[in-house]
């Protein structure tokens, strides 16, 4: 839409409502309080219309029509490829749209109906959002191949005390899970370098910068671990997180979300 067309549309809406929605300024325009309210209510109306379409399309038929599925970055690349293949085979009438975001953003998109469901790491208690646990994800110890702990018998999380722990950057819930397992506090090292992804984290370990914890879900499903990195299980398996699927309470796509969760679980543990 061109700027003159947009301005004309806003002016027509202002005339219809009898209230000013935007203040024109030399460098653009700014919404008035009435304009902000109008945008908020318009978004709600559009979302309700979207929900109406979805309800009608999905009535009596499981996983048909468009479905927007989100996933956090430490799950998406390791779960979605196999799950998407299984879904396309079993439900050819499904049109799946995938979105990769961190958990808070996914929760916001569920609330605003931008997403129908999201794969996240639990626990995550949020009002108005329902969650179905799917499976546990074990943590593995990762270190440079030459590191002493790479060859230690009966490895336990306590052995990591004093080690330079490499973590994902703030905002990744996997960071919090790892810190919890090691009973560490954020900011314990002023020289800590955080990784932006699991792939970067593995490269940092291979470069001898420190040790870390990696989710077995990732190491078993495509995360590239080269010969310079040693992976070890703990003598007592450490469950680092629980993978689950979430949807908005009262969503007409709840049955679809549950079915997708079932297929994700089966595809990941084939």
pLDDT tens digits, 50-77: 665 655 555 558 999 999 999 999 999 9
Torsion of CA 257, 263, 267, 268, to 10 degrees: 40
Question: Does 69 share its domain with 16?
Answer: no
Proportion of the chain in helix, strand, coil states, percent, rounded to 5 = 40, 25, 35
Question: Locate tokens 């469901």: which residue?
Answer: 117
Could you tell me how many residues make up the chain?
270
* Three-class DSSP category at 230: strand
Out of 40, 61, 82, a domain closes at 61
Average pLDDT over every residue of 30-58? 68
What would the DSSP string read from start to end of 23-82? EEETTEEEE-HHHHHHHHHHHHHHHHHHHHHHHHHHTTSSS-EEEEEEE-TTTHHHHHHH
Average pLDDT over every residue of 140-165? 90
Q: Structure tokens of 257?
A: 């979300």
Out of 18, 36, 61, a domain closes at 61
Question: Does 20 share its domain with 91?
Answer: no
Average pLDDT over every residue of 230-236? 93
Question: Locate tokens 């879904």: which residue?
Answer: 87
Question: Does 254 share its domain with 236?
Answer: no
- Rounded CA-CA distance 244/156 in Å is 26
Structural domain range at position 99: 64-134+243-268
Question: Does 236 share its domain with 247?
Answer: no
Query: Based on the structure, what is the number of domains in the chain?
Result: 3
Q: Structure tokens of 181?
A: 């397992």
Question: Does 201 share its domain with 70?
Answer: no
Question: Does 237 share its domain with 106?
Answer: no
Residue 269 pLDDT > 90: no
Q: What confidence tier does 187 reach under pLDDT thresholds 50, 70, 90?
A: very low
- Rounded CA-CA distance 196/60 in Å is 43
Question: Does 126 share its domain with 252?
Answer: yes
Question: Does 119 share its domain with 170?
Answer: no
Residue 34 pLDDT > 90: no
Question: Does 46 share its domain with 177?
Answer: no
Q: What is the CATH number of the domain that holds 2?
A: 1.10.10.10
What are the CA-CA distances from residue 150 to residues 16, 153, 155, 223, 230 (Å)? 72, 9, 9, 19, 6
Residue 261 pLDDT > 90: yes
Average pLDDT over every residue of 20-28? 74
Residue 153 pLDDT > 50: yes
C-alpha angle 194-83-61 in degrees, rounded to nearest 5: 130
Provide the pLDDT for residue 217: 93
Q: In the chain, where does DSSP find H-type helix?
A: 3-17, 33-58, 76-90, 103-111, 173-182, 198-206, 216-219, 254-268
pLDDT tens digits, 73-103: 999 999 999 999 999 999 999 999 999 999 9
Question: Does 224 share its domain with 146?
Answer: yes
Provide the pLDDT for residue 12: 78
**Poorest-pLDDT segment among 108-122, 154-168, 254-268:** 154-168
C-alpha angle 85-88-92 in degrees, rounded to nearest 5: 170
Residues of the chain with pLDDT > 90: what percent? Answer: 55
pTM of this prediction? 0.73
Q: What confidence tier does 48 reach under pLDDT thresholds 50, 70, 90?
A: low
Question: Does 115 share its domain with 247?
Answer: yes
Q: What is the CATH number of the domain that holds 77?
A: 3.40.190.10
Average pLDDT over the chain, rounded to whole? 85
Average pLDDT over every residue of 10-38? 76
Question: Does 140 share its domain with 231?
Answer: yes
Average pLDDT over every residue of 153-174? 85
Out of 11, 42, 61, a domain closes at 61
Q: Structure tokens of 107?
A: 């929760």
pLDDT tens digits, 193-208: 788 899 999 999 999 9
């Amino acid at each position: 839409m061109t700027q003159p067309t947009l301005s004309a549309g806003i002016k027509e809406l202002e005339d219809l409502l009898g209230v000013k929605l935007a203040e024109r300024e030399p460098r653009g325009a700014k919404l008035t309080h009435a304009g902000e309210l109008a945008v908020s209510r318009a978004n709600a109306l559009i979302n309700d219309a979207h929900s109406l379409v979805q309800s009608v399309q999905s009535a009596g038929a499981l996983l048909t029509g468009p479905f927007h599925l989100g996933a956090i970055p430490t799950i998406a690349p390791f779960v979605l490829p196999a799950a998407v293949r299984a879904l396309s085979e079993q439900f050819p009438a499904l049109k799946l749209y995938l979105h990769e975001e961190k958990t808070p953003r996914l929760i916001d998109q569920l609330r605003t109906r931008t997403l129908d469901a999201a794969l996240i790491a639990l626990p995550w208690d949020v009002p108005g959002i329902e969650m179905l646990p799917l499976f546990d994800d074990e943590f593995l110890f990762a270190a440079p191949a030459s590191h002493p702990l790479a060859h230690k018998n009966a490895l336990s999380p306590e052995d990591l005390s004093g080690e330079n722990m490499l973590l994902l950057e703030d905002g990744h819930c996997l960071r919090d899970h790892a810190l919890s397992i090691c009973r560490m506090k954020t900011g314990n090292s002023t020289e800590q370098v955080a990784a932006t992804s699991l792939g970067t984290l593995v490269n940092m370990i291979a470069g001898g910068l420190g040790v870390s914890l990696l989710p077995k879900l990732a190491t078993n499903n495509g995360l590239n671990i080269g010969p310079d990195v040693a992976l070890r299980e703990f003598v007592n398996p450490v469950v680092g997180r629980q993978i689950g699927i979430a949807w908005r309470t009262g969503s007409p796509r709840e049955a679809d979300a549950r079915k997708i969760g079932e297929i994700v679980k089966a595809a990941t543990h084939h």
